[in-house]
Amino acid sequence: MNKKITFLILSGPTKEYIDPVRYISNESSGRMGSALAEVAIKKGYDVIFISGPAKVLPKDVKVIDVLTALDMFKATQLNFKKANIVINAAAVADYRSAKISKHKIKKDCTSSLMTIKLKQNPDIIKYCGENKKNQVIVGFALETKDLIKNALIKLKNKSLDLVIANGVGAFNSKNATVNIITPNSILEIKNRNKNIIAEKIINETVRIFKNIKLCKDNSRRL
Ligand code: C5P
């Protein structure tokens, strides 16, 4: 059974260029995604790993490198059908520059204000939630307020099976406090190493996947 489960794990930040040298990005290190991939590999599962430009990458895992949210979306669409469980631990930029200037943008000395028009990126995990077929889809929710409330909204609106809710303290750190949320349960894990959290998340996703499979097999038998 183990060998047949394939994880698709998205990790790290994305970089959205404004001009040839400037970009919009965030502090995601890739630590959580890497920990998830390493745990899954250690347990004997297959892993397809897509990463933005991250500081931390998993050992013994082939990495599909991407830069922007659009690149990550394309790589996800290409690999989506091969996956039984999709976990998006990437900090995907919600917006990109509407236009990437061909040349470095010069300082305008006539005004101290400058405006950059942003365009919304596709929501990758929402696409996975809306297109799933017996797959388990997991998203992360990083919030600065109303953590559980917002995570529950995400779970529903993005058709996810599991949401991992954490505060900003989880960014770029080795430890985190997280809430593992399903439609009918919330488990809080306080200030633990991301490897331990990864182990819990992988076990929980496999449990949900096996349940879905069991229900499907039973309904076929009826
Ligand atoms: O709505 P919010 O961006 O806070 O949702 C967080 C979840 O959605 C994370 O799992 C994140 O990786 C994912 N996400 C995504 N595509 C985006 C933005 C966020 O898949 N464009």
Alpha-carbon distance 169 to 93, whole Å?
18
Count Cβ atoms within 10 A of the Cβ of residue 77 and give its class: 0-12 exposed, 13-18 middle, 19 or more buried.
middle
Contact assessment for residue 103 and residue 19, using Cβ atoms and an 8 Å cutoff: yes
How confident is the model over 169-215, as pLDDT tens digits? 767 778 889 999 999 999 999 999 999 999 999 999 999 999 988 88
165 touches ligand 1 (CB under 6 Å): no
* pLDDT score of 2: 46
What are residue 162's phi and psi, to 5 degrees?
A: -150, 140
Beta strands 175-182 and 185-193 are antiparallel
Pocket test of ligand 1: the residue of 88, 138, 150 to mutate, having most ligand atoms within 8 Å of its CB, is 88
Contact assessment for residue 206 and residue 5, using Cβ atoms and an 8 Å cutoff: yes
3-state SS string for 134-172: CCEEEEEEECCCCHHHHHHHHHHHCCCCEEEEECHHHCC
Which residue positions in the chain have pLDDT lower than 70?
Answer: 1-3, 170
* pLDDT score of 202: 98
Alpha-carbon distance 43 to 168, whole Å?
29
* pLDDT score of 196: 96
How confident is the model over 131-144, as pLDDT tens digits? 999 999 999 999 88
* pLDDT score of 1: 47
Tokens of 146: 């109303």
Residue ranges of domains in the chain, CATH in brackets: 2-221 (3.40.50.10300)
Nearest CA to ligand 1 atom 9: 140
Is pTM beyond 0.75? Reply is: yes
Contact assessment for residue 136 and residue 84, using Cβ atoms and an 8 Å cutoff: yes
Pocket test of ligand 1: the residue of 92, 201, 205 to mutate, having most ligand atoms within 8 Å of its CB, is 92
* pLDDT score of 84: 98
In the residue annotation, 193 being an active-site residue is answered as: no
